[in-house]
Structure 1
Amino acid sequence: MVVQPYLYFHGRCDEALAFYEQALGAEVTFKMRHKDAPGEYSVEGDAGERIMHASFKVGQTTLMATDGMPTETTPPAYSGFSISVSLDNVAKGEKIFNALAEGGQVRFPWQSTFWAKGFGMVADKFGVPWMVNVENKEP
């Protein structure tokens, strides 16, 4: 079994994918627009340019993304979860945290804690909540 987050961007999916490529080193592995759907599922005009489905890899994890249905324009309200990024290098963790924080909202500033060499919480500029953690593995 595989469990994967599926993120909705309501018209900003292309922008989000480019942001994650830059901020996280993500690799977009699949992208389909509504205009590329077969037959009766195909949509024309501006709505056809919206992303129907995309997959992107961050490290070993694949996440999925969409602009949603062509008629949906309500921005997402992400709540009740965070996407956690675990690293073993403090400098890299801080770099990723700062990249995700650009244009976003820091919820817990990057710092060392009793459980981590470095930890921070941020909602990126798309509202997606992230936790970046460099665990303190020493006893």
Structure 2
Amino acid sequence: MEFEVSPYFLITTDAEKARLFYEEVFKATTVYLQRVKDRPKQAKIGISEDEYNRIDQSVLQFGDIKIMLADDTEGLPITEGNNISICLTFNTVEETKAVYDRMIEKGSSILKEFTDDFYTKGYGYVKDPFGVCFHLFTKRGA
């Protein structure tokens, strides 16, 4: 099984300011950026237009690693201080779901049920028994 590992910074205030800060301070490069306004129409229902520029997901290149950075647009159980987690990106939905299931079987807590959504065909968010949170994500197009 092959997959990518990325720190995931989920920002509770303003991910755009964080993105620009990391670009300036660390010379990071934004290699992917999706804003709330880029969502399909049905995924924007109930969201006010003043939130359309919030970051749904971005990938920044930091030297030889990538981080994922986003605003908390889904109301996940995040507070400042525990908002950095690990994102594992798998090639197939089946691989992603298998790891999600194994984590639950081994005592991890479900923070977001495994789902097929507009941003990926397979995603789940869990906290392992040691308090580490993992975003389990399937590559787009998989």
> After TM superposition, what 4+ stretches of structure 1 lie above 3 angstroms from structure 2?
none
RMSD across aligned positions (CA): 2.6
Q: Which has the larger radius of gyration?
A: 1
Q: 1:35 to 1:3 in 2, by over 3 A?
A: same
Q: Percent identity?
A: 22
Deviations 1:83-117 (A, max 9, x none): xxxxxxxxxxxxxxxxxxxxxxxxxxxxxxxxxxx
Q: Which of 22, 25, 41 does residue 24 from structure 2 map onto? A: 22
Structure 2, unaligned runs of 5 or more: 86-142
- 1:4 alignment partner, SS class: strand
Q: How many residues align?
A: 81
Q: How far apart, in 2, do the equivalents of 1:2 and 1:32 lie?
A: 19
Query: Which ranges of structure 1 fall in alignment gaps of 5 or more residues?
Result: 82-139
Structure with greater strand percent? 2
AA at the equivalent of 2:19: L
Q: State the partner residue of 1:39.
A: 41
Q: Highest relative contact order (Cα 8 Å, sep 6+), 1 or 2?
A: 2
The 8 Å contact of residues 9 and 84 in structure 2, kept in 1 or not, is answered as no
CA distance in 1, matches of 2:11, 2:84: 17
What are the Cα deviations for residues 2-58 of structure 1, in whole angstroms up to 9, with x where unaligned? Answer: 211111112311110111111111001111111110120124412222110010000
